[in-house]
C-alpha cells in the first residue's frame, strides 16, 4: 500500500543516494520535468546505475517518470530502465492513445528482457483531455493508480493555481471517482510551496477528506505529514477492531444486526473497518498479533 510518493530528480546523485531515507512509500525517479534537456542522458544513466547497485527496501516501490512519448527520449528511457528493478512507470501527458502505445512498446521490451511480470502504469492526469478520458484510462489493465498533475492542468486550462485549490476541485473528484470505480489508487497532486507547512496540512487534509488515498511530493520534508494524514489514526484503528469484535459476537449469537457505540453497523461499515485494519498493518501501525 502507498500513502506517499516522492519525486527525485534523476540527475542529482546526492538525492538519489538518499532516496530511501525519507520514509516515502514510493520513489518516483524523475527523468522528465525536473531534468534539463541537456541532462536527460546523464539522468537516465545515473538512475540506472543507482537501481543496479542499491538494494530496495521491501516496503518501498521504485517508479520511473519517463519523458513523454512525443519526445526523443522516451524509447531510451524504456530500453535502459525497464527491468525487474522497477515496479512501474509514471506516464506524463497520459491519454488512452498514449497508454495503448506504451503498453505495446512495454510488452515487447518485457518479452525481449524475459521479465516475469508486467510493469504497472500510473498515468498523470494533467490535461483537460485526460480529465475527460479519466474513466477509460482508469479501466486499462496495467493502470494501478492515477496521479493528478494540477500545475500542467491549470496551464492547459489557462487558469492560475491557488493554494486553496478550488480551481482543481472538479479534476480531483473525477480522479477520485474513477479510481474508486476501478479499485485503483487515487494520488493527489504535489503541494508546491515547500516551506508552507500550514498550507500543506490544509491541502493534505482536504485531499484525504475528498477521497484521495495518497499524495505525491516534490520535497522530502512533506513526507512525514503526508504519511500521517493518509494513515489510519489510533482512534480509527480502535473503532475498527470494536466493529470486527462486535460482528464476531453477533455471528456467534446468530444476530444479523448489531450496533457499536449506539450506531447500527452494516456491510459497508464492516468493509471499511477491515480496510482500516489492513492499512494499519501495511503501514506497520499495528502487528498481526493485534488480531489475536
Model pLDDT, residue 116? 85
pLDDT of residue 289: 63
pLDDT at 291: 59
DSSP secondary structure letter of residue 143 = B
The whole-number pLDDT of residue 104 equals 96
Q: What residues contact 282, with CB distance under 8 A and at least 6 apart?
A: 1
Q: Which of these, 217, 131, 142, lies nearest to 176 by C-alpha position? A: 131
Per-residue pLDDT of the chain (292 residues; tens, 9 = 90+): 899 999 999 999 999 999 999 999 999 999 999 999 999 999 999 999 999 999 999 899 999 999 999 999 999 999 999 999 999 999 999 999 999 999 999 999 999 999 988 999 999 999 999 999 999 999 999 999 999 999 999 999 999 999 999 999 999 999 999 999 999 999 999 999 999 999 999 999 999 999 999 999 999 999 999 999 999 989 999 999 999 999 898 888 888 778 898 888 888 899 999 999 988 998 888 876 665 5
Q: How far apart are CA 198 and CA 22, in angstroms?
A: 20
Any residues with CB less than 8 A from the CB of 245 and at least 6 apart, and which? Answer: none
DSSP 67: P
Measured CA to CA, the distance from residue 183 to residue 147 in angstroms comes to 14
What pLDDT shows up at residue 252?
Answer: 87
- Report pTM: 0.91
User: Which pLDDT does position 287 carry in this prediction?
Assistant: 79
Task: Please give the pLDDT value at position 253.
Answer: 84
Q: Which CATH superfamily is domain 4-229 in?
A: Phosphoenolpyruvate-binding domains (3.20.20.60)
- What pLDDT score was predicted for residue 254? 84
What nine digits make up the cell of 203? 491541502
Helices then strands, counting H and E runs in the chain, come out as 12, 10
> What is the DSSP track for 153-221?
HHHHHT----SS-GGGHHHHHHHHHHHHHHT-EEEEPPP--TT-HHHHHHHHHHHHHHT--EEEESSGG
Question: Residue 257 has what pLDDT?
Answer: 79
Query: What are the residue ranges of CATH 3.20.20.60 in the chain?
Result: 4-229
Amino acid at each position: 500500500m502507498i500513502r506517499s510518493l516522492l519525486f527525485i530528480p534523476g540527475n542529482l546523485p546526492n538525492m538519489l543516494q538518499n532516496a530511501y531515507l525519507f520514509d516515502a512509500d514510493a520513489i518516483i525517479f524523475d527523468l522528465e520535468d525536473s531534468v534539463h534537456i541537456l541532462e536527460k542522458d546523464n539522468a537516465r544513466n545515473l538512475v540506472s546505475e543507482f537501481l543496479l547497485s542499491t538494494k530496495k527496501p521491501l516496503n518501498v516501490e521504485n517508479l520511473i517518470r519517463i519523458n513523454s512519448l512525443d519526445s526523443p527520449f522516451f524509447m531510451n528511457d524504456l530500453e535502459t530502465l525497464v527491468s525487474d528493478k522497477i515496479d512501474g512507470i509514471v506516464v506524463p501527458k497520459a491519454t488512452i492513445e498514449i497508454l495503448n502505445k506504451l503498453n505495446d512498446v512495454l510488452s515487447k521490451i518485457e518479452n525481449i528482457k524475459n521479465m516475469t511480470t508486467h510493469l504497472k502504469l500510473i498515468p498523470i492526469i494533467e490535461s483537460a483531455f485526460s480529465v475527460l478520458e479519466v474513466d477509460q484510462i482508469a479501466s486499462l489493465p496495467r493502470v494501478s493508480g492515477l496521479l493528478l498533475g494540477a500545475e500542467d492542468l491549470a496551464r492547459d486550462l489557462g487558469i492560475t493555481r491557488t493554494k486553496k485549490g478550488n480551481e482543481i476541485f472538479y479534476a480531483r473528484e473525477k480522479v477520485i471517482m474513477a479510481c474508486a470505480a476501478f479499485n485503483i489508487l487515487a494520488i493527489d497532486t504535489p503541494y508546491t510551496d515547500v516551506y508552507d507547512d500550514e498550507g500543506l496540512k490544509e491541502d493534505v487534509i482536504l485531499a484525504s477528506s475528498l477521497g484521495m488515498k495518497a499524495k505525491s511530493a516534490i520535497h522530502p520534508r512533506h513526507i512525514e505529514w503526508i504519511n500521517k494524514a493518509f494513515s489510519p489514526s489510533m482512534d480509527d484503528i480502535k473503532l475498527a477492531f470494536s466493529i470486527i469484535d462486535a460482528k464476531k459476537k453477533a455471528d456467534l449469537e446468530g444476530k444479523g444486526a448489531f450496533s457499536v457505540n449506539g450506531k447500527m453497523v452494516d456491510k459497508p461499515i464492516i468493509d471499511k473497518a477491515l480496510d482500516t485494519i489492513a492499512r494499519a498493518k501495511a503501514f506497520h501501525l499495528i502487528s498481526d498479533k493485534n488480531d489475536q
